[in-house]
Amino acid sequence: MDANPIVLDDAAGDVVVVVVEGEHDIYTAPTLRERLDEALGRGGGVVVDLTAATFVDSSILGALLDARRRAQEQARGFVVSVGAEVEPGVQRILDITGLVPVLPVIDGREAAISAARDGVSGSPG
Amino acid sequence: MDANPIVLDDAAGDVVVVVVEGEHDIYTAPTLRERLDEALGRGGGVVVDLTAATFVDSSILGALLDARRRAQEQARGFVVSVGAEVEPGVQRILDITGLVPVLPVIDGREAAISAARDGVSGSPG
Amino acid sequence: MTERPEVRLTMAALPEGVGVVRQALAGMADALAFDQGVLADMKMAVTEACTNVVVHAYADDGSDGTADTLEVDLLADELGLTVVVRDRGSGIKPRAARSTPALGLGLPLIAALSDAFEVRGSSGGGTEVRMTFHYMRDADPVESNPIGETGWVPPDRPT
Amino acid sequence: MTERPEVRLTMAALPEGVGVVRQALAGMADALAFDQGVLADMKMAVTEACTNVVVHAYADDGSDGTADTLEVDLLADELGLTVVVRDRGSGIKPRAARSTPALGLGLPLIAALSDAFEVRGSSGGGTEVRMTFHYMRDADPVESNPIGETGWVPPDRPT
Ligand SMILES: Nc1ncnc2c1ncn2[C@@H]1O[C@H](COP(=O)(O)OP(=O)(O)O)[C@@H](O)[C@H]1O
Ligand SMILES: Nc1ncnc2c1ncn2[C@@H]1O[C@H](COP(=O)(O)OP(=O)(O)O)[C@@H](O)[C@H]1O
């Protein structure tokens, strides 16, 4: 009964989705890093779905940026997806850090999966 | 912009309704006592509507029992009403103190107004 | 169980503080994914204990300018959450020494709503009320501590 | 404004404490009928300040068994709520003395999200971060403290 789960979803086949729900900070950042390692280990594209996340802090952004860098090094797709209604505890930090084009952040899990499949992994690196 | 208002509603004419919303405890108990004094001062029956209350403690029950005693002394109706779905923070204290028949507590504001109009003010005093 | 509190809340023993404790508790229980029924009981019991500090612990309602404090500790273990409400006040006096008539419902409610409770003198003088709330309950604690048995009788109840 | 805190939260400087502070704050702000946008910013800024205490303030992650504390004070006045996050740690060292590479996003976020902020040495040694959040805002504080101006640059951003 984890109120803030982070699970891998393999349904899309060649793109693995890391589904992040609830509040995440320095306490759960190590778990996210593990899941991201696992996802990168699968060899395909990676999507991190924040649709059901209610709060993420800079430790979480740090974990995402590290994973993105590794995906880029391996020329793999890496995309973050959000829902149509983004929680203030997620939207605000993405907005003010200017990370939307960088990560990149895309609306909708399906669109993110397609982009990751195409090898998208953010603005010019 | 009081998150926990207590207001008088005179719409029923001869019965005045004290509408209690939100959380109430020792901090707002003096306000409730004032409003109850005002309601008793009108000369008719009194209903205390807890439908929109989310929490009441023993200080609030104390204020209600005092008002009820005064209503009884003046042979006036005094009834507490709750909604169909009662918040645990209200239901629980009414249940375990055995005050439902005492106050008395009645489902629905309209039924409570009728009862207060008929001079109901709880189990034999 | 270690005695070091997970969290300590310290504030002035004032009426507005009681809601602050209740809300902070609710927020933290939210993080613990606490059962909603147990949380409701905990909020009620802790409110009563804090109210006693505000109403009874300090003689002169802070008019002497000293810091009348209300301290709330949270201690978590495998079984549940223990909440300790502590003051540095006068301590619980024998009944005869009390002046104001009151409902006398606070301690009975605390007993009824908690899975375990204890009232004792606090080391700093004053009173300490410890209440434990289990994450999981086999039975409603009210069953084993019905309010009637603590001596509390509703007014005008046909007896 | 009096310096006596309305509420003080004291706990161990551990990763799990950060969420506890955030939730307690949310619960209390609920009682104050705080604006939801300001509350979201406050939760974010306070999270970053507490994270810094957990990550940077104490050298050896509590392995020496001493009580590495995280203290959070809330002070309310007419204009807004001031949150003080305090530790008894090593204090902020010059940049060269730091070892671990990090995002460096915490203080810039605090600056951007608060209506006023101050970082200073705390009297007990260690660091104190004071952040004020107004109940009403004329403008978004991010406008006057854009993150770019604090020196933070997103990685790989076309410059
Ligand atoms: N923190 C406290 N400090 C001093 N006396 C207390 C404290 N808590 C309770 N008491 C005493 O115990 C009595 C019983 O308390 P309680 O059951 O809560 O009923 P009530 O508050 O309605 O009197 C109080 O009237 C008071 O004399
Ligand atoms: N409470 C603290 N105690 C000691 N050093 C601190 C504290 N808070 C911040 N610092 C120092 O200030 C630096 C900048 O902090 P910050 O902007 O939050 O970025 P980051 O935490 O990602 O390094 C930290 O790397 C650390 O050296």
Domain boundaries in chain D? 6-143
A64-68, C118-122, D65-69, range with greatest mean pLDDT: A64-68
Q: Residue D86 corresponds to which tokens in the numbers above?
A: 């305090």
Q: Supply the pLDDT for residue A71.
A: 96
The answer to the question of residue B122 being in a domain is no
Please give the CATH superfamily to which domain C6-143 belongs.
Answer: Histidine kinase-like ATPase, C-terminal domain (3.30.565.10)
Q: Is the pLDDT of residue A124 over 60?
A: no
The CA-based diameter of chain C, rounded to the nearest angstrom, is 48
Q: Is residue A23 part of a domain?
A: yes
- Structure tokens given for B58: 């023993």
pLDDT score of C60? 65
**B125: in domain:** no
Question: Per-residue pLDDT for A13 more than 50?
Answer: yes
Residue A112 is assigned to a structural domain of this protein: yes
- Choose one of D46, D52, D110, D131 to mutate for the ligand 2 pocket test, by most ligand atoms within 8 angstroms of C-beta: D52
Ligand 2: does its nearest atom lie under 6 Å from the Cβ of D104? yes
pTM of the shown model:
0.83
How far is residue C87 CA from its own chain's centroid?
A: 11
What confidence score (pLDDT) does residue C139 get? 85
The interface predicted TM-score (ipTM) is 0.81
Tell which wins on pLDDT, C157 or A22. Answer: A22
C58: helix, strand or coil:
coil
- In this structure, the number of other CB atoms found within 10 A of the CB of residue A38 comes to 13
Asked if residue D92 has its Cβ within 6 Å of ligand 2, the reply is yes
Q: Cis link prior to A104 (omega < 30° from 0)?
A: yes
Q: What is the pLDDT along chain D (159 residues), one digit of tens a residue?
A: 344 568 999 999 999 889 989 988 887 777 676 788 999 999 999 999 999 999 999 976 555 455 699 999 999 888 889 999 999 998 987 665 555 556 789 999 999 999 999 999 877 689 999 999 998 888 888 887 777 665 666 665 443
Residue in the block written with tokens 């996340």:
A53
For residues C72 and C107, the answer to whether their CB atoms sit within 8 Å is: no
**Number of domains chain B contains:** 1
The helix or strand, by DSSP H or E, that contains position D155, with its residue range, turns out to be: none
Q: D128: helix, coil or strand? A: strand
Q: B47 CA distance to ligand 1 centroid (A)?
A: 30
- Please tell me which residue of chain D has the smallest CA distance to C72: D9
C-alpha C71 – ligand 2 centre gap (Å): 31
Quote the pLDDT of residue D2.
Answer: 41
Mean pLDDT by 10 residues, chain B (125 residues): 86 96 96 97 96 97 96 95 95 94 95 94 60
Write down the pLDDT at residue C93.
76
Contacts of C24 in chain B (CB under 8 A): none
The enclosing domain of B34 has a CATH number of: 3.30.750.24
The residue segments making up the domain with residue A60 are 6-117
Are β-strands B45-49 and B15-20 bridged in parallel, bridged antiparallel, or unpaired? Answer: parallel
Residue A103 is assigned to a structural domain of this protein: yes
Query: How many Å apart are CA C9 and CA D23, to the nearest integer?
Result: 13
Looking at residue D145, its pLDDT comes to: 77
Answer whether residue B38 is part of any domain: yes
Q: How far off is chain C from A25, nearest CA to CA, in Å?
A: 13
D101: tokens are: 């590479």
D64 within 8 A of D114, measured Cβ to Cβ: no
pLDDT at C4: 56
What's the pLDDT score for residue B11? 93
Inside any domain, residue A124:
no
- Per-residue pLDDT, B69: 95
